[in-house]
Chains A and B, each alone.
Chain A
Amino acid sequence: MALEKIWVFGEAGADGAATITLEMLAKAREVADTVEVFIGGDGAARAAELGDHGSAKVYATGDLAGRMQGTCVASAVASAIASGEVAAPDAFLFGTTYDGRDVAARLSVKLGAGVLSNVVDLRLDGDRLVGVEPVFGGTLNVSSRFADGGPDIWLVRPKSFEPSPVGGPPAEVVDLPVPELGAAGGAVIRDRFTEESAGPKLDEAAIVVSGGRGLGSADAYSMIEGLAKQLGAAPGASRAIVDAGWVPYSYQVGQTGKVVKPTVYIACGISGATQHLVGMKGSKNIIAINKDSEAPIFAVADLGIVGDVHKVLPKLTEALEAR
């Protein structure tokens, strides 16, 4: 028996809806009769695309004037439910994103509802949702559900589902007013910066080239960028070198960080801590280069090169350039 209604938190991507939003819509349609999106921002601009992906309505706050998604959207949803304007859904789905986590966190407090996070699959068990979370580097899958009395709040990892447009009519736009926020609403965005990256995005690239501690120094990361550029790939990183400050957090592939599932993943000087494996072992093909033949990364690699990244990478980049 399907759920009655699921609400999906909608986010904007570079052009149109964020991929994670469309991924969640596809899964939500499988398990619920009615699927609706709620967003912090303008609804009309999103109505056609969200409708195409099966959302009947889009509840939208309108422009937030620089205020944070977390406080605004959580307050708007909680007050719409409290006032009886809308009936609470059986479940809320959020992407594991910067804003998704903020809204989910604040909403959970407002509704007194728990959050189950890092979910990579959802299925129906009777009239309840069960979510699957990988633990211990993805060696075990833990299935969990909420006790009675929802609504459920799920945080879904990107790349867990495939978007699937259904050609539905444009979603009906419904106003979702933001109430008075008080002190909690004090944070305001004064400026926005876009990091110019020449290549594709880390979580959307067909090829990802990642570097780890085996590079030896921050300077050596330029070898990763050089190879990535040559392959039209996105550069990534292990947690170790993000923690060391060599590259920003946005480069991080892993349990904390981004999940990637490219056609080819090239791990350079990465030993393969469970923390890292969770984020990349769903890749279709894995190439690993590491000096230590015992490194755990070789257990998941389709092609493992036991060798020094400082020797292999320059030759590899040069050979590709020569083609």
Chain B
Amino acid sequence: MKVVVCVKQIPDPADPGALDPETKTLRRDVKLILDESDSYGVEMALQLVDAAGEGTVHLISMVPNDEVSGLRTALAMGADSATLISDEALAGSDALGTARVLAAAATRAEPDLVLAATESSDGYTGVVPAQVAELMGLPSVTFAKEIAVEGGTATVRRQTEAGADLVECPLPAVVSVTAGVVEPRYPSFRGIMQAKNKPVDQLNVADLGIAAEQVGWAGAGQEITEISEAPERAAGEVVVDEGDAHERIVAFLDELKVI
């Protein structure tokens, strides 16, 4: 079984950088790391291959520069190989431009299953996985809580507003994985050493047969008209608990007439 996992390398959320005043987009000149959301997809892929008793996990990621540190983290977890689509033309890509690149790269890998996070931690549009599926002409199940694969069919427990749906989906398919449903393994020292020698195939947009104007700024078809400061919320009263702070909370709830 060949599982492709789409992963994103993002600025460390603890130090997210700032909007570039010129281009009005997130500056990406900071160090990039593996989006934590993607560690669940990588872990899920590793577990599915383990359960199947055979198979490989291949990563796909795109960046406007040649950053690979996030990919190395996922390779150290146990993924076998990676494709990095690295091209300056990718800067400013919207969700659809991103999906075009990921779908083209995933198609080349001829996967049985494509996994992704439900949404990235920085862009959080939550539409890329289903766009990838549509571009590949595949079925998709988004917001998966559990996945089992048997006999060319994925059985997926999908999060819904009411609870969950049990969805059966023939492979190949695209499935997006919600955070927290598996416990991502920490890379072992051995894994980290091995990751340095795992193959990372580097491609540009033209290699995928995609025109530069379909991605990046040119392909995005949208523009930022204004950036403004949001009104700040004023901080209120702060009480240090001396054993009776709960009384202050009760009084506050009383004032609000909610109890």
Does B161 reach chain A (CB closer than 8 Å)?
Answer: yes
B259 touches A231 (CB 8 A): yes
A187 touches B169 (CB 8 A): yes
The CA of A311 and the CA of B167, in the complex, are separated in Å by: 43
- Which chain A residues numbered 200 to 235 have a C-beta less than 8 Å away from chain B? 206-207, 231
CB distance from B44 to the nearest CB of A (A): 13
The A-B contact count (CB < 8 A) is: 284
- Option from A143, A207, A263 in Cβ contact (under 8 Å) with B226: A143
B19 touches A192 (CB 8 A): no
B161 touches A323 (CB 8 A): no
B166 touches A109 (CB 8 A): no
The CA of A274 and the CA of B18, in the complex, are separated in Å by: 13
CB distance from B97 to the nearest CB of A (A): 8
Chain A residues with CB under 8 Å of B173's CB are 186-187
Considering the complex, give the chain B residue whose CB is closest to the CB of A150: B221
Does B159 reach chain A (CB closer than 8 Å)?
Answer: yes
Main secondary structure of the interface of A (DSSP, over half): mixed
Does A64 reach chain B (CB closer than 8 Å)?
Answer: no
Considering the complex, give the chain A residue whose CB is closest to the CB of B156: A187
B143 touches A249 (CB 8 A): yes
The CA of A294 and the CA of B159, in the complex, are separated in Å by: 35
Q: How many residues of B contact A (CB 8 A)?
A: 84
A146 touches B221 (CB 8 A): yes
The CA of A306 and the CA of B243, in the complex, are separated in Å by: 11
B236 touches A302 (CB 8 A): yes
Chain B residues with CB under 8 Å of A306's CB are 238-241
Q: Which residues of A contact B (CB under 8 A)?
A: 11, 13-14, 18, 68, 70-71, 74, 96-98, 101-102, 104-106, 108-110, 112-118, 125, 130, 134-136, 138-147, 149, 155, 182-195, 206-207, 231, 239, 242-246, 248-250, 255-256, 263-264, 266, 273-275, 281, 285-287, 289, 293, 298-308, 311-312, 315-316, 319-320, 323
Q: Which residues of B contact A (CB under 8 A)?
A: 13, 16, 19, 24, 36-37, 94-96, 99, 118-119, 121, 124-131, 133-135, 137-143, 145, 158-170, 173, 178-183, 220-230, 232-233, 235-241, 243, 245-250, 252-253, 256, 258-259
